[in-house]
Amino acid sequence: MNANDKQAVKDIVGAENYSDSLIDLVTYSYDASDHDHRPEAAAWPTTTDQVAAILRLANASRFPVTPRGAGTSLAGGVVPAQGGLVLDLVRMNRILAVNIVDRQVVVEPGVVYADLQKLLAPQGFCFPPDPASGKVCTIGGNVATNAGGIRGAKYGVTRDYVLALEVVLPDGRVTRTGSRCMKSVSGFDLTRLFVGSEGVLGVITEITLKISPKPLASRTCQASFATLDQAGRAVTAIMHSGVVPSVLEIMDQNTIRVLREKGGMDLPPVNAMLLVETDGYTAGEADYQMDRVLEIFRQGGAQTIDMAQSADQVEALWAARRKAGSTAGQLRPYNLSEDVTVPMSQLPALLTGIAGIVEGYGLPFVVFGHAGDGNLHPKIMYDRRDPEQVTNVHKAADEIFALTCSLGGTLTGEHGVGLAKAPYMHLEHDANALELMRSIKRLLDPNNILNPGKMNLDV
Amino acid sequence: MNANDKQAVKDIVGAENYSDSLIDLVTYSYDASDHDHRPEAAAWPTTTDQVAAILRLANASRFPVTPRGAGTSLAGGVVPAQGGLVLDLVRMNRILAVNIVDRQVVVEPGVVYADLQKLLAPQGFCFPPDPASGKVCTIGGNVATNAGGIRGAKYGVTRDYVLALEVVLPDGRVTRTGSRCMKSVSGFDLTRLFVGSEGVLGVITEITLKISPKPLASRTCQASFATLDQAGRAVTAIMHSGVVPSVLEIMDQNTIRVLREKGGMDLPPVNAMLLVETDGYTAGEADYQMDRVLEIFRQGGAQTIDMAQSADQVEALWAARRKAGSTAGQLRPYNLSEDVTVPMSQLPALLTGIAGIVEGYGLPFVVFGHAGDGNLHPKIMYDRRDPEQVTNVHKAADEIFALTCSLGGTLTGEHGVGLAKAPYMHLEHDANALELMRSIKRLLDPNNILNPGKMNLDV
């Protein structure tokens, strides 16, 4: 970006919504991954027209534009890999409509996930995906990454709730996709072309989301197992039983040890734990499903089974799972946090395989995740200042991705490709699929101005 | 197609899988809509390689190819509008894998919906969308049209269950999209670009579907109302209450009259009826939801409320709804059957608006449909041999589509655009969205060989 470009951006959004100060640029070099690259300027647009004007300018002057929400990407998704402008959408944060009868809300992309939940809860409704970063992440980021979360096994991911979008295309044209109806098959599914496209095909400026009634009853239980494999088999047995828990989380022995030793949590010294929640309109419905789960745990040799008897006990069971990532992160200055996912039947193989791989490199690691949809979070701690650790963490990642794909899995269940998984895309996708993705990118963004360098699309 | 093209197709699929006999070509001129156009040849490929070879040939020789399943399209979706070859996929009908732990099945496109259900039912699972043509329609057709059905309000549409596809692109390249995992955000959502694309972007040759546990308990009830508006208001009240019925169907006074007079069914002489099913793992869960619904019906002035007390009574309540379309179709030789859909709050306005429009043209009509997701099926009977009736049915359709779009609705909730809704696409989509669809079509199919003339994509 030259001085004219910067002045032009400043003119579009106003001086109060523009910065090229060093402190802002350093801040915008990062997201929640271990990638970074410094941008040349940052803007906080407040209207769709401003976004459109910026993209027209970027196309004319050929500077990169990286759209950004709260910056919680664990894949380098919002790191401005080729410099240019960071387009921070957090000031477009109005909730434009809440319509309970139509079961939908209309929001700007900068609305924080938790703020929407707070508004919906008193009316008995929710937007279910429940990403771990829900307290800070934005709905725009959820949509751009098709964010999953802790209730995915039963309630699906962001994609399942996006009815319609307003999108600014890379050339500055504004379009509306989808429909505010509960269903529509009118033309190609442009909405889902943009959902999960990680800001490389357009900038999402308005989102219509389907909302769901909040379950009225739930049951929560925690079980521990002597081996990770036993826990994995219990998960597949639950899937086979026909019960669909609203939560089915797993923690490995390293996670449990870190939570005991660093997190000061009162957990048994076991090798694997599962956290399960069932729900429904009625307590009987939640009980029926939990009874099936408990039967499976008993037959599967669970060492302990703790049923929460009160809201406080539910919170106590949840505390461990919620703190797993941040507590483990304290072990070394940097960490690689992945979200490999496999078909359910392959979960035991992935669990034991990851442990075998990372142990071989002598780095501290934990594995936890959303077992109910086959999505594991191996988190490997390392110190970037030690070249050997850097080499080893990348070798471990290479092997984990190769193992995952050999098990019929996917590189990323919910974090997105970004920079982190870009080099591995060929492991999962055939050459024709990759070329199709690249040709769609070239079709919409021939000058490659939108979030360049991501998803292995630049050829 | 010239004689060489026909011979080349015959060589690819074998003589036993090829026809250009008049009786076959006349048969393949039609689907379940009131559109028709005669193809020049028909082939029944049995492998992906054959499909790929045919598309390479079609590109070289520039003849149109129209993929087809069971031909149940109500929108002219599989009418070979520009002649050429009909590619009938019903002989690719193997169920390749049933994997309960992974909650998925892998099928070829020609598998009949009901055959898959029959296979899954003994294991306690199902593929939920439940299209009205389920006894004969194919899974390939379901995917190509993103078919909905009677359980859409709670269980969604075909799109929500498609995990992965094998697709032959228009130039004959074969690619795999998606993942066999319960979730994946690895690259653009190519799967959903093909779901609902009505055979204009590629030929789907293998489908991996997510399956769901069959609900163990259900309750069924039918209620009648003095006015259509009252019934519509009851539907919106149910949506507001947070209950999500697995079925919520509506029939208008004309449907009820036709079923009484032509179908010999024992129904009350009322102006509107609702059929509701609630479900869950437990009877208590189904009861809880049905109790809320019954409360709404009583407060909303229902004239009669019939709860089914046995499986036979459930069947009796269902019989009327199931026969509505075919019984009404007897009134005139042709009919226009639409699937306009609006946000739930607009359902009363659409119900009364459609009645007002069609009554003005003096043609017999019925309105029934999936009220639970705002999807109505106005069916207007006419005689094609009478030019005035033809003019009037089209004028009525024009007005119904205009009304629907003015209410924030969509032209098609589940049938697809095909030929029927192609002229109306501009009412729903802005110019940039339409151009984006057309540019994607040109990108994938530059010679416009796949199902040309559909969806208003040819410009």
Tally the C-alpha atoms within 13 A of residue A238's C-alpha that lie toward its C-beta.
Answer: 33
Q: Is residue B346 a part of any domain in this protein? A: yes
Q: Is residue A388 a part of any domain in this protein? A: yes
Among A368, A387, A406, the domain boundary falls at: A406
- The pLDDT of A210-222, averaged and rounded, is 96
For residues A94 and A316, the model is more confident at A94
Q: Is residue A395 a part of any domain in this protein? A: yes
pLDDT, tens digit (0-9, with 9 covering 90-100), for A431-440: 999 999 999 9
CA distance B236 to A214: 18
- The pLDDT of B189-194, averaged and rounded, is 98
Domain that holds residue A346: 217-406
Q: Count how many domains chain B has.
A: 3
Residues B335 and B348 in one domain: yes
Question: B280 — contact with chain A (CB < 8 Å)?
Answer: yes
Q: Are B337 and B74 in contact (CB under 8 A)?
A: yes
CA distance B197 to chain A (A): 6
Q: Is residue A154 a part of any domain in this protein? A: yes
- The pLDDT of A380-396, averaged and rounded, is 95
Task: Give residue A216's pLDDT.
Answer: 96
Q: Measure Cα distances from B249 to B230, B354, B374 in Å.
A: 14, 17, 10
Amino acid found at B167: V
Residues B230 and B379 in one domain: yes
Q: A455–B175: do the CB atoms touch at under 8 Å?
A: no
Residues A115 and A231 in one domain: no
CATH number for the domain that contains residue A334: 3.40.462.10
CA distance A13 to A57: 12
- A-chain CB neighbours of B196 within 8 Å are 185, 188-189
Q: What is the mean pLDDT of chain B?
A: 95
CATH number for the domain that contains residue A114: 3.30.465.10
Q: How confident is the model at residue B323 (pLDDT cuts 50, 70, 90)?
A: confident
What would the DSSP string read from start to end of A73-110? -SSSTTS-TT-SEEEE-TT---EEEEETTTTEEEE-TT
ipTM score of complex = 0.96
Q: How confident is the model at residue A326 (pLDDT cuts 50, 70, 90)?
A: confident
- B-chain CB neighbours of A437 within 8 Å are 187-188, 190
Residues B37 and B167 in one domain: no
Residues B224 and B370 in one domain: yes
pLDDT above 90 coverage of chain B, percent: 88
Residues A132 and A164 in one domain: yes
Query: B68 phi and psi, to 5 degrees?
Result: -150, 140
What would the DSSP string read from start to end of A25-77? HHHTTB-SSS-B---SEEE---SHHHHHHHHHHHHHHT--EEEESS---SSST
In the stretch 122-151 of chain A, residues with CB closer than 8 A to chain B read 124-125, 145-146, 148
Q: How confident is the model at residue A459 (pLDDT cuts 50, 70, 90)?
A: low
CA distance A112 to chain B (A): 21
pLDDT, tens digit (0-9, with 9 covering 90-100), for A344-377: 999 989 999 999 999 999 999 999 999 999 999 9
Residues B230 and B206 in one domain: no
Q: How many CB atoms lie within 10 A of CB B329?
A: 17
Task: Give residue B316's pLDDT.
Answer: 83
CA distance B401 to B404: 5
Residues B342 and B370 in one domain: yes
Q: How confident is the model at residue A316 (pLDDT cuts 50, 70, 90)?
A: confident
Question: A173 — contact with chain B (CB < 8 Å)?
Answer: yes
The whole-model pTM stands at 0.96
- From the list A285, A345, A413, the residue facing B284 with the nearest CB is A285
Q: A433–B175: do the CB atoms touch at under 8 Å?
A: yes
Pick the residue of A171, A181, A282, A454 with the most B CBs within 10 A to test the interface with B by mutation. A181
Q: How confident is the model at residue A233 (pLDDT cuts 50, 70, 90)?
A: very high
Question: B177 — contact with chain A (CB < 8 Å)?
Answer: yes
Q: Is residue B429 a part of any domain in this protein? A: no
Residues B176 and B228 in one domain: no
Mention every residue, 6+ apart, whose C-beta is less than 8 A from residue A378: A337, A338, A340, A354, A358, A365, A366, A367, A400
pLDDT, tens digit (0-9, with 9 covering 90-100), for B9-54: 999 999 999 999 999 999 999 999 989 999 999 999 999 999 999 9
Q: Is residue A429 a part of any domain in this protein? A: no
Task: Give residue A49's pLDDT.
Answer: 98
Residues A175 and A307 in one domain: no
Q: Measure Cα distances from B263 to A419, B90, B260, B267, B320 in Å.
A: 63, 32, 6, 10, 9
CA distance A459 to B276: 54
Q: What is the mean pLDDT of chain A?
A: 95
Q: How confident is the model at residue A126 (pLDDT cuts 50, 70, 90)?
A: very high
Residue B126 has pLDDT above 70, yes or no: yes
Strands, sheet with A18-19, edge to edge from the N-terminal-most edge strand: A18-19, A41-43, A85-88, A65-68
- From the list B197, B242, B417, the residue facing A124 with the nearest CB is B242
Q: A192–B190: do the CB atoms touch at under 8 Å?
A: no
Query: What's the token pair of residue B81?
Result: 């509008």
Residues B47 and B70 in one domain: yes
CATH number for the domain that contains residue B59: 3.30.43.10
Question: B300 — contact with chain A (CB < 8 Å)?
Answer: no
Q: B185–A146: do the CB atoms touch at under 8 Å?
A: yes
Query: What's the token pair of residue B57?
Result: 């040939």
CA distance A344 to chain B (A): 5
What is the interface size between A and B, counted as CB pairs within 8 Å? 273
Among B406, B431, B447, the domain boundary falls at: B406
Residues B310 and B358 in one domain: yes
* C-alpha dihedral sign at B12, B17, B21, B26: negative
- The pLDDT of A325-333, averaged and rounded, is 88
- The pLDDT of B373-396, averaged and rounded, is 95
Among B196, B213, B230, the domain boundary falls at: B213
Q: Are B447 and A217 in contact (CB under 8 A)?
A: no
Task: Give residue A321's pLDDT.
Answer: 83
Residue B153 has pLDDT above 90, yes or no: no
- A-chain CB neighbours of B103 within 8 Å are 239, 344
Q: Is residue B83 a part of any domain in this protein? A: yes
Task: Give residue A420's pLDDT.
Answer: 95
Q: A148–B185: do the CB atoms touch at under 8 Å?
A: yes
pLDDT above 70 coverage of chain B, percent: 100
To the nearest 10°, the Cα dihedral for A153, B94, A187, B336? -120
- The pLDDT of B323-349, averaged and rounded, is 91
- A-chain CB neighbours of B99 within 8 Å are 343, 345
Q: Is residue A421 a part of any domain in this protein? A: no
Pick the residue of B185, B350, B438 with the most A CBs within 10 A to test the interface with A by mutation. B185
CA distance B257 to B368: 12
Closest residue in B to A101 (Cα–Cα): B240
CA distance A364 to A331: 8
- B-chain CB neighbours of A369 within 8 Å are none
